[in-house]
Structure 1
């Protein structure tokens, strides 16, 4: 059993960082009430974490190759634990958002090193077993996140969704120190700091612009200025990477149309499948009056179907070309989101079941082949970078998706609400108290939420279908024959 202790240490970290993507979703209404947050604050609680993950994954991987993967993993665990404690103690939205970003820093260090640690620790059949368990743990994290978040929020307090990370982190640190061996890349030369800074600035500026567009407007000086900053930073990133002797991301990888297709697919999968869940949770709890546990259980059809489908697809369809599994999965995700659009003012949670189940089937079908296809599309020496780029695109898709769908949701809400009802109160999770104070507002609030969600589901569906078509057109080669295996159910990485 001792030989599996390194796997235990790695899986504990992976479970925590992936649970923290979804565990917050059902706690947002309670956070909004406790901290008196705005709609933008709620978005940043999720996006701060996702953005830090997306921006730092490739840089963390480079640092780990240079100084040691075990060291970076341990550092990530310590930062993640400290940030979790700070999140739980936060007394205002600004502090919570800042510490969520710090959590993302720790999560990036952990996520960037888990596969490399397993690959260096296990060989042969044991390596296959280790990656299989790791993938299953990822899937369990997705399914457990909303339910665990609901249980902790409803029976203790929303702060416990962060405090629960502390004992798990301590165990992971102890086991890692005792049983995980150090490994590094002897040919590593350094970290691409200019690339890291310009990429982070580009992603942050665009995401901030999208989150603030509801208040500032699309044509405002602030919005246009932020988009311009994002575009200039992205151009600077491209120039830096082209000239760097050790680029964080080798742009030559994008000469492969298959690689481009998989990157687009990964980004749009996160947007179309997961980004609307935060607004769905807001509707279930603040409008339909569900508790956090019940709201979390409502999202299980997606996670359970994704978990089962991924297991079946991984075993039965491993020889099927990736264009069909990934492209077909994205088309299913698009259809699943469109099945959610019949939501109306009188709808209950049952209107979500079919759409979430179909989306879960698409997620489970697309994910097992996605990472292996990305790595197969590039030279073997760049396989690790390709895998990191895919993880980055998915986390970036999650961050941008929350911002884009938030703007769409809020616009639909604005257009449907009669004058006199404060939109900020509804998007801040205060619909329940407002209706309790004045029951006459209930029909208008229910209609407005249904309209906002319809728009968000429609955009998600269209993006899912476009992602599927892009993969079918661009991806031409079969799934990989040699790279490291991918995480099993994508519900887990959400991102």
Structure 2
């Protein structure tokens, strides 16, 4: 539900903009109101689940998300919709890390790779299916239905969780939650985002720079505090693990690229190519199909052979797809330009999504399952948040320029070059992952040959060899 809603709005943006009279900045905030709340609070939500019960926090998030969706569906102005989307983001922050940390804490180690692969596949499919579902709902009635449809889904989620999901928590935790640290991080991220998108109309331009500097100071204090405070949201030990740190850096740049492209794709297909909302959604169906067929398979292969080359190859395939999408402009055909690009796009996502998620979680101790999940989700959402904030202006798309096919196509191609570059950076970062390099350890817990036992740094089974 949360993953779907993160992208379903993309295809509805033209209709929302037309009905509510939104500018480019308004459309950015409709997306980023959600992402800002999600990215700001997802860390503390993961910690709350670890300490007070993962199923409990998950259920609160589902109910909250469903209620906020009603407010989104009833919004009568751009400002009201942005506020309701921020409330939705709070619900998304509560339920998203809980769903993954439940898998990490409930499944046996030998089954986790498949479970996480399925979770990643279904989450990725939901995100990829968002444009299709959104297009159909917008075409059937209104963009409002894209939000109201969450209510029956939320009811079903509550019933399923109560019936099938066991309660788990970190029994060794101290029960303390770093509210101050969370607030400092949220204020910092909000300040940076507000400054990058632009302050409300009528605010003097000279205010924007101090807002950005203030947000940056708060973010730097948040980072410093994770190393100095007694009860940090992110245990510093997590980022001392090179694999954990690099995998999250890769997540940041790749999801930034995805967030920017997915925002603009719905606009490009509808305004520059004249697609209906439904047709724009159907255009992305190959992404969903490829991920459905291959994500779990690539997750299993990465678990067997090590994740490094999957984390290198996936982003590079996505970068290639973005370069192929540069051919999509006025007069382009679906079979000649759109279909080949979105197929490669889906293949790249299938290669990277499940392996990077499994790698991040395998690099963290079990007791930090919720925190590790929260960190990875926060990193992904922050990447998307900042991309949506920066990319339109970086690509020359401001004001009401998104309604002009020529101006939009020019900005679309510039944005694709930027995002492809980010994906290449992600692939290069993955070369530092130690997922398929054997590392010497003292011995595995049940190893009959202490000193002669080597194991993969990403939780592979021990292999007895001569050192």
TM bracket (short chain): 0.7 to 0.9
- Given that 1:194 and 1:240 are in contact with CA atoms closer than 8 Å, whether structure 2 keeps it comes out as no
Match of residue 450 from structure 2? none
Contact 1:211/1:404, CA 8 A, preserved across alignment? yes
* CA distance in 2 between partners of 1:125 and 1:399 (Å): 35
Partner of 1:471: 430
CA distance in 2, matches of 1:261, 1:185: 26
Corresponding position of 1:201? 187
Q: Structure 1, residues 316-341: CA drift from partner, whole Å, max 9, x if none? A: 34333322111221122222212222
Report matched runs for 1:361-400 at 5 Å.
361-379=347-365, 381-382=367-368, 384-400=370-386
**Equivalence map 1:9-24=2 (5 Å):** 16-24=1-9
- For residues 23 and 5 of structure 2, what CA distance do their matches in structure 1 show? 21
State the match for 2:212 in structure 1: 227
Map Cα deviations across residues 94-133 of structure 1 (whole Å, 9 max, x no partner): 1111111111111111112113334555558887775565
The structural deviation recorded for 1:72 is 1.2
Q: Tell me, yes or no, if the aligned pair for 1:261 and 1:475 is still in contact at 8 Å.
A: yes
Question: CA RMSD for the aligned pairs?
Answer: 2.8
TM-aligned CA deviation for residue 68 of structure 1: 2.0
- Cα distance in 2 between the residues matched to 1:389 and 1:72: 17
Q: TM-score, normalised by structure 2?
A: 0.86
- Cα distance in 1 for residues equivalent to 2:68 and 2:33: 12
Q: Equivalents in 2 of 1:102, 1:213: separation in Å?
A: 20
Query: What corresponds to 1:402 in structure 2?
Result: 388
2:401: which partner in 1? Answer: 426
Task: Give a deviation string over 1:316-368, Cα, whole Å, max 9, x none.
Answer: 34333322111221122222212222445543544233332222222111122
Counterpart secondary structure, 2:172: coil
Q: Does 1:461 align with 2:461?
A: no
Deviation digits for residues 384-430 of structure 1 (CA, Å, limit 9, x no counterpart):
43332112111111111112222223x1x5xxxxxxxxx63333xxx
How many matched pairs?
Answer: 439
What 5-or-longer segments of structure 2 have no aligned partner? 437-455, 461-467
Aligned to 1:420: none
Secondary structure of the structure 2 residue equivalent to 1:339: helix
Deviates more, 1:374-383 or 1:50-59: 374-383
Between the aligned partners of 2:314 and 2:165, the Cα distance in structure 1 is 36
Counterpart CA distance in 2 for 1:366 and 1:76 is: 27
Larger mean CA deviation between 192-201 and 376-385 belongs to 376-385
Partner of 2:241: 256
Consecutive unaligned residues in structure 1, runs of 5 or more? 1-15, 414-422, 432-444, 484-495
Say yes or no: does 1:191 pair with 2:165: no
The CA distance in 2 between the partners of 1:394 and 1:302, in whole Å, is 19
Q: 2:10 aligns to what?
A: 25
Please give the TM-score of this superposition, normalised by the length of structure 1. Answer: 0.81
